[in-house]
Amino acid sequence: MVKLKISKNELIEKLNEAVKEGYNYLVKITAVDYIDHLEVIYFIRNIENKKEENIRLDIKDGERLPTIVNIFKAADFYERELSEMFGIEIEGRKVERLLLEKWDGLEAPLRKKFEWGADYKRD
């Protein structure tokens, strides 16, 4: 697996290059909270050649990422998840209903600063 660290400004260009190289499948997008920044990881695969690459980038709280739905349609779900679970805003996305319908969408439960309320117990 190839790991590539880029800046957020290079994201669209690098993904377009990867598609031209045969990386035609978005496996997933996820993020890791390091408290002082978030690392967003895009896992892409070249199915024909059985190669996988992950593209990583760091963002600060409040920074936005561009949508990649026009490159990989499967990104729609993952971008919604990044928005709701990590609080990452995605530029160019239409506001849609929440993945978790009973969730107010105001807090990001996968962030380390998330505070569990009285209704939630963590062991």
How many domains are there within the chain? 1
Please give the pLDDT value at position 112: 78
Whichever domain contains 87, its CATH number is 3.30.460.80
Does residue 108 sit within a domain? no
- How does DSSP classify residue 94? P
Query: Could you report how far apart the first and last alpha carbons of the chain are, in Å?
Result: 35
Take residue 79 and report the two structure tokens written for it: 């971008």
**Residue 8 domain boundaries:** 2-91
Please give the pLDDT value at position 105: 58
Does residue 105 sit within a domain? no
83: Cα within 13 Å, side-chain hemisphere: 24
Take residue 100 and report the two structure tokens written for it: 């978790």
* Distance in angstroms (rounded) separating the CA atoms of residues 57 and 78: 16
Does residue 84 sit within a domain? yes
Does residue 103 sit within a domain? no
The tens place of each residue's pLDDT in the chain, 123 residues long, gives 678 899 999 999 999 999 999 999 999 999 999 999 999 999 999 999 999 999 999 999 889 999 999 999 999 999 989 988 898 999 987 766 666 666 665 677 777 777 766 555 555
Q: Which pTM value belongs to this model?
A: 0.85
Strand stretches in the chain, DSSP E: 2-6, 25-33, 38-46, 51-59, 64-66, 89-91
Take residue 41 and report the two structure tokens written for it: 């990881």
No. of helices (H) and no. of strands (E), the chain: 2, 6
Does residue 21 sit within a domain? yes
* Distance in angstroms (rounded) separating the CA atoms of residues 83 and 42: 15
